[in-house]
Amino acid sequence: MKQFYYLLSFLILASCSSLKQAEKSMNSGDYVKAYDLLIDEYQKGLSAKKKEKFLPIFQNAYMKMVASQESKIEHLKSAKNPAYTGDIYNTLVGLHHRQEQLRPFLPVYHKGKEMLFKTKNYLPAINQAKNDYVEYLYQVSLKKLDSNNKQEIRSAHGDLRKIQSLSPGFRDVENLLDEAHYLGTDFVLIQIENRSNQLLPQRLEDDLTQISTYGLNNFWTEYHQKKQNDYQYDYLIRMDIEHIMVSPERMNSRQHEFEREIVDGWEYLYENGRKVLDSLGKPIKVDKVILVSARVEEVIQEKDALVQGKVDLINLSNNQIIDTQKLNSEFGFKNHFAKFFGDRRALDDHMQKLTYNQFIPFPSHEQMVFDSGEEIKAQLKRLLKRRFK
């Protein structure tokens, strides 16, 4: 029961708050906001007592909302500026929508009398405004497409999509959308060259100087690894592999000696050649402690690779370098193991674990370079994703 009263109190307070907000909006001249607040409250349902105060304010908000929006439309029309066709259309759509919100509640009665809520058929005006807006967007799009500015062309693509949503199949919009997408796209050529003076097997050379463009392309950016004659490229991404270094294989070993006393079972306690008995007459048992030892050869295998490069971003419209980044990748192979001779029980925990590891064949020179090169290419891809969002 308490929860019901809490909920009721909350709804009453919320209703009062909406009414106060609506009155505040009315006083500031924002009749659209006032009406939106009140119709939302009205749709939730009001008690008869609440309607007494609510309905006159609601009627006033509706009438002033309609008057203000119709006045806005007339003012926009009087300017005779095609750029206002979108505002006219959207304002008419808003009026129609708000009127349709109210329609299910008509007629509205207050103190036994029907309240006046004038309604109009805005649909013919909306259709005309939509046609004007679509025509305006079409003409603006054509002008933008004639420009050499990609941002303008991309804006034209947005306008054409609006036309498509408002009037599907309008003229040649489908073809213009394809044209806008092509003209607005940045085409980027990627070139990777090995300038390290390091002779590599051809397969490795090919792997190192290729980059998958999967995941790089976005709606307004398309990457090519190989130059195609049908495209005019906007940017060149030129990456040079400058240094490739692979260290010799290294095996460092150390010798360790371990000795430890451990419990190895039990034995009877003797004294003067006779078993010692406890208070119950039973022989006393004691731990049998022995000394164990082991010799350990600890081995560390290591091999390192380093690949360094530089990437230049070149604007092909003026052949200017607009950005330069250094790329660096270090790849290390390390294996740690141990061989023991003697009694394993003499070893500490750390050395025990190492004895379970084994010698691993060193990765080849080519594999080390390949792994480092993959990281370099991953760095390049991250750079491109940040640059061409």
Tens-digit pLDDT profile for residues 203-219: 888 888 888 887 899 99
Among 363, 246, 256, which Cα is nearest to 299's?
Answer: 256
Instruction: State whether residue 343 is helix, strand or coil.
Output: coil
Query: Which pLDDT does position 10 carry in this prediction?
Result: 41
Please identify which residue in the block is written with the tokens 């790329």: 327
Residue 149 forms part of a structural domain? yes
pTM: predicted TM-score of the whole model, two decimal places: 0.74
Which helix (H) or strand (E) element contains residue 323? strand 320-342
The residue written with tokens 């001249």 in the block is 29
The answer for residues whose C-beta is within 8 angstroms of residue 234's C-beta and 6 or more apart is 150, 186, 187, 188, 315, 316, 317
Going from the C-alpha of 357 to that of each of 270, 295, 337, the distances in angstroms are: 44, 16, 5
Give average pLDDT by consecutive 10-residue segment, the chain, 389 residues: 42 60 84 90 84 89 94 96 97 96 91 91 97 98 94 97 96 96 95 88 85 88 92 94 94 94 86 85 87 94 95 94 94 95 92 94 93 90 88
Q: Considering its fold, how many domains does the chain have in total?
A: 1
What Rg, from alpha-carbon coordinates, does the chain have? 41
CB atoms within 10 A of CB 271: 8
Phi then psi for residue 255, to 5 deg, are -100, 140
Q: Is residue 210 part of a domain?
A: no
Q: Is 129 exposed, middle or buried (0-12, 13-18, 19+ CB in 10 A)?
A: buried
Cα–Cα distance measured from residue 264 to residue 111, given in angstroms and rounded to the nearest whole number: 104
Sign of the torsion formed by the C-alpha atoms of 142, 148, 152 and 153? positive
283: preceding bond cis by omega (within 30 degrees): no
Between the CA of residue 17 and those of 21, 242, 271, what are the distances in Å?
6, 69, 98
Residues in the chain: 389
Q: How many CB atoms lie within 10 A of CB 194?
A: 19
In 3D space, the residue among 329, 267, 338, 336 whose CA is nearest the CA of residue 304 turns out to be 329
Does residue 10 sit within a domain?
Answer: no
Give the HSE-up count for residue 383: Cα atoms under 13 Å, Cβ half-sphere: 20
CA distance 234 to 183: 11
Query: What pLDDT is attached to residue 344?
Result: 92
Amino acid residing at 281: G
Asked if residue 4 is part of any domain, the answer here is no
pLDDT at 16: 56
Residue with token string 């270090």: 330
Contact between 132 and 88 (Cβ < 8 Å): yes
Residue 186 falls inside a structural domain: no
From its phi and psi, is residue 252 left (phi > 0), alpha (psi between -120 and 50) or beta?
A: beta
Let me know if residue 174 belongs to a domain: yes
Residue 20 domain boundaries: 15-181
CB-count burial class (<10 Å; 0-12, 13-18, 19+) for 307: buried
For the chain, the farthest-separated pair of C-alpha atoms sits apart, in whole angstroms, at 128
Is there a domain that residue 208 lies in?
no
Residue 176 domain-assigned (yes or no): yes
